[in-house]
Amino acid sequence: MTKFYEHYEIIFDSKTGENVKVTNYFQAEGSPNMSFPKAEENMDYARMIEGVNADPPTNTIEEIDDTPE
C-alpha cells in the first residue's frame, strides 16, 4: 500500500467569512522531491485517487496541516 501526504493550509475566505481548507500539493511517502497538484487532469493525482478508491484500497492519504501559526 502506498501512502500519500496531502499538504494543505486553512485560509480565511473573505467572501464567505469562513475558514477553508486549500490543498497545496500531494507527495508520495519516500519521495520528498516529487509533488503534484490536486488536479483531475494530472496523471499522478488520477492514479493516486484510483488507488484510494480501489476495492481493496491500494493507496492511503494522510493530511498534513501546513498552516502558518
pLDDT-based confidence at residue 67 (cuts at 50, 70, 90):
very high
What is the tally of structural domains in the chain? 1
Query: Residue 19 has what pLDDT?
Result: 97
CA atoms within 13 A on the CB side of 11: 8
Compute the distance between CA of residue 52 and CA of residue 63 in angstroms, rounded to an integer. Answer: 14
Using an 8 Å Cβ cutoff, are 24 and 8 in contact? yes
- pLDDT of 31 reads 93
pLDDT tens sequence across 22-61: 999 999 999 999 999 999 999 999 999 999 999 999 999 9
Question: Which pTM value belongs to this model?
Answer: 0.90
Helices H / strands E in the chain, number of each = 1, 3
Whole-angstrom Cα distance, residue 16 to residue 29? Answer: 34
Domain coverage including residue 40: 2-65
